Amino acid sequence: MTRTSASLHRPAPAFDLLRVPGLGRLLRWRWGRLVFQAPLAVIAAVMIYDGLTGPKLAPQNLATVATWVHYRGLVVLALLLAGNLFCMSCPFTLPRTLAQRLARHGRRWPRALRNKWLAITLFVGLLFLYEAFDLWASPWLTAWLIVAYFVAAFVFEALFAESPFCKYLCPIGAFNFVGSTISPLQITSRDADVCRSCVGKECVNGSAQVLGCGTELFVPQIRSNLDCVLCLDCARACPHDNVALAARKPLSELTNAAWPRRWDVALLALVFTFAALGNAFGMVPPVYELEAALAGWLGTDNEVLILALIFGVLYVLAPVLAGVGAAWLSRGLAGGERIRVVLGRYAPAVVPLGFAIWFAHYWFHFASGALTIIPVLQSFMIDHGVALLGSAPNWRLGAILPANGLFLLELGSVLIGFLASLAVLRQIADNAHNDSRMARRAMTPWLVLLVLVAVLAVTLFTLPMEMRGMMTG
């Protein structure tokens, strides 16, 4: 794929992770990604093995504990502090290089599917399967989920000439892409003039020796972390050493109209945010009361059907209605453009709050169960003839924070997320309207939406939440 020269003018980045002595060299090294992927691939293999052959009780099995307690807690922390480090180290894409070589002359991903609709569907589908089949409680299903990921990633990479699995399908990737829009680092060019005079555009086109960007991002035009899996293939491919992993102003991506004004991208942000509420709702007592009430009203005890109704509303209907409704009201109050444009403009404002709710929820589980990994590992080793860290696993280990600390963490996270969303909303409205009165009017429906989401989140976190994935739960 050939691109024309860049049109953006940017100052040279003040901080570039790829210039940090030692680390930058490691990251740009040809096998640099493998250094991070290989250990995760070994861990994934052990998780699959233990999931299929180990203890049936979820809090005693590596597959369930590492997936549903540790992975989720660490991934949101990495997104917050650095960026899409999980996609960078993704073990599922370890066979990607081989698959991409197979796909060099492969088909292009169908034009009709070059959007986020499938990723949204699979993201919602995965969250639904998690609830309907209690994935968190089943080492066996969790192991097969990991296997399915490896197979799907390889097959789609091999069949198609770009990276459709990462860009258009992967539900984890969809989550990480949205989360990474608040991350402090972003791929960019060091010197726009060098890109302008660059003939080969190897960062995206690749060369005989190295692959270009798998998700077909063109470095000098990147303004968003959406679709960047942080593989750093662009940095390895650039013959002019002109790619930076640069620090950027907090929340700048969300305020500078970096996203395309598309239905799918806007609704991905809203689904991400409402799914944070829905996922937490699935673990508090009212969900069981609602299930019982629905079972009575509908005269059925089909739990999958009842959960499909509940989570269909929470994950799909609510974000669509809330987003389109807010855009419609915003347009009515301030006049102007099409609903899609207004929705696309303001949808980024919900991301900090949505991310904060996910963070609060995942860290509730991580901070209350992180140490469970010690007895689980001890038990795994003992079962395989190796005694480590003392002989008897201490199944009382779990929390790294006291119970009242957990609530403060949740409350603080939601509050910070709300304030960040508010700041983004205000900036977007100010950018869109010269008249400050019109800006306030345009942002009002979105402000109401943010307040509602924040209040619902705090309410959920005041309720007793299931301690999934740990013995004390």
Q: Does 238 bind ligand SF4 (CB under 6 A)?
A: yes
Helices (H) and strands (E) in the chain, counts: 23, 2
Q: Which helix (H) or strand (E) holds 128?
A: helix 117-132
Q: Which two tokens stand for residue 42?
A: 């070994």
Residues in a beta bridge with 243: 189
Residue choice 231, 307, 420, 467 for contact with ligand SF4 (CB under 6 A): 231
Give the range of 136-144, 188-196, 350-358, 385-393 binding ligand SF4 by CB under 6 A.
188-196
Q: Does 215 bind ligand SF4 (CB under 6 A)?
A: yes
Binding pattern to ligand SF4, positions 256-295, x when CB under 6 A? ----------------------------------------
Residue choice 161, 230, 283, 399 for contact with ligand SF4 (CB under 6 A): 230
Which residues ranging from 10 to 49 are in contact with ligand SF4 (CB under 6 A)? Answer: none
Give the DSSP letter of residue 160. Answer: B
Cβ proximity to ligand SF4, 194 vs 371, nearer residue: 194
Determine contact, residues 163/114, Cβ cutoff 8 Å: no
Give the range of 26-34, 212-220, 368-376, 402-410 binding ligand SF4 by CB under 6 A.
212-220
Q: Cα–Cα distances in Å, from 43 out to 32, 71, 423? A: 18, 11, 40
Determine contact, residues 195/220, Cβ cutoff 8 Å: yes
What's the start-to-end Cα distance of the chain, in Å? 53
Candidates 357, 333, 360; CA nearest to 346 is 333
Provide, rounded to whole angstroms, the least separation between the CB of residue 242 and ligand SF4: 4
Cβ proximity to ligand SF4, 214 vs 319, nearer residue: 214
Q: Which two tokens stand for residue 320?
A: 């669509």
Alpha carbon distance 77, 65 (integer Å): 17
Q: Does 246 bind ligand SF4 (CB under 6 A)?
A: no
Cβ proximity to ligand SF4, 240 vs 440, nearer residue: 240
Residue choice 100, 180, 181, 189 for contact with ligand SF4 (CB under 6 A): 189
Cβ proximity to ligand SF4, 66 vs 213, nearer residue: 213
Give the range of 64-72, 211-219, 384-392, 416-424 binding ligand SF4 by CB under 6 A.
211-219
Q: What is the DSSP string of 284-339?
A: SHHHHHHHHHHHHHHT---HHHHHHHHHHIIIIIHHHHHHHHHHHHHHHHH--S-H
Which positions lie near ligand SF4, rule CB under 6 A? 187, 189, 194-195, 198, 201-203, 213, 215, 217, 219-220, 228-234, 238, 240, 242-243
